[in-house]
Amino acid sequence: MPAKLSVNLNAAAMLRNRRDLPWPSVTGIGRIALAAGAHGLTVHPRPDERHTRHSDLPDIRALIDDEFPQAEFNIEGYPTEDFLRLVEKNQPEQVTLVPDDPAQATSDHGWDFRAQAAFLTPIVKRLKKGGFRVSLFSDPDPEGVAAACDTGADRIELYTGPYGSFHDAPAKAASELEKLGRTADAARAAGLEVNAGHDLTVANLPALAKRIPDLAEVSIGHGLTADALEHGMAGTVTRFLKACGW
């Protein structure tokens, strides 16, 4: 089965937040994406609420429950106590833990699983006890996968930023793709499922899907939103689903 597509709503929320106005509607954009065939919605509610606001989360949860019960809600973020309580309040199907500093503009690296295992393990245990699937943001590093598995997580999410950054350098992109592929191979061998996200586009998704044919999910925000400015959200979801192999 091809990778499922989760649409990250942060860029739409950031556009809304430029004005003290309710548009574009974050839930409205989410509704269009799900109606067009997306398999889920992702948010990254940072502490300063510079894009997705905490108040958006109940509305997104209700949208999925009331209109698209087959879809999934994925909340990602750095696991402070406030974040964990936000997750527990809004009950996503999946929680993706990222090692972001609050001041970062966007996620730009994965966890050091060996060094941070003692920190992550009890958090993963708490989330799993709450019934959430747990995914850990991961650099393309096959050697770190065993330590990720030891935390008790269900999945890793491959950080594909370096792969996406070489959009105009095919040889370098191919090298990064192979690193991602080897990490996915190691994760599979360790019993972990694999997600991927960051700077994925209609152009670079097919090669990723071919190299990692059992990829579980891709979470895409910036590239998908940029594409939607040209093709509309519904048309863009169709384009990205096709790029994933649907």
Q: What is the pTM of this model?
A: 0.95
pLDDT of residue 107: 63
Which strand (E) or helix (H) includes residue 57? helix 56-67
Check 51, 72, 76, 176 and give the catalytic one: 76
Check 51, 193, 198, 217 and give the catalytic one: 198
Which strand (E) or helix (H) includes residue 26? helix 26-35
Taking the C-alpha atoms of residue 239 and residue 98, their distance in angstroms, rounded to an integer, is: 27
Q: Annotated catalytic, 81?
A: no
- Burial class of residue 71, CB neighbours in 10 A (0-12, 13-18, 19+): buried
Radius of gyration, CA atoms only, the chain = 17
Which residues lie closer than 8 Å to 239 by C-beta, 6 or more apart? 202, 227, 231
Burial 11-31 (b: 16+ CB within 10 A, else e): bbbbebeeeeeeebebbebbb
Q: Annotated catalytic, 76?
A: yes
Closest CA to 41 of 1, 90, 82, 78: 90
Q: Could you write out the DSSP letters of every residue in 114-182?
A: TTTHHHHHHHHHHHHHTT-EEEEEE-S-GGGHHHHHHTT-SEEEEE-HHHHHTTT-HHHHHHHHHHHHH
> For the chain, which domains are there?
4-244 (3.20.20.70)
pLDDT of residue 100: 77
Output the tens digit of pLDDT for each of the chain's 246 residues. Answer: 999 999 999 999 999 999 989 999 999 999 999 999 999 999 999 999 999 999 999 999 999 999 999 999 999 999 999 999 999 999 999 999 999 776 655 667 889 999 999 999 999 999 999 999 999 999 999 999 999 999 999 999 999 999 999 998 999 999 999 999 999 999 999 999 999 999 999 999 999 999 999 999 999 999 999 999 999 999 999 999 999 999
Q: Annotated catalytic, 198?
A: yes
Check 44, 72, 176, 193 and give the catalytic one: 44
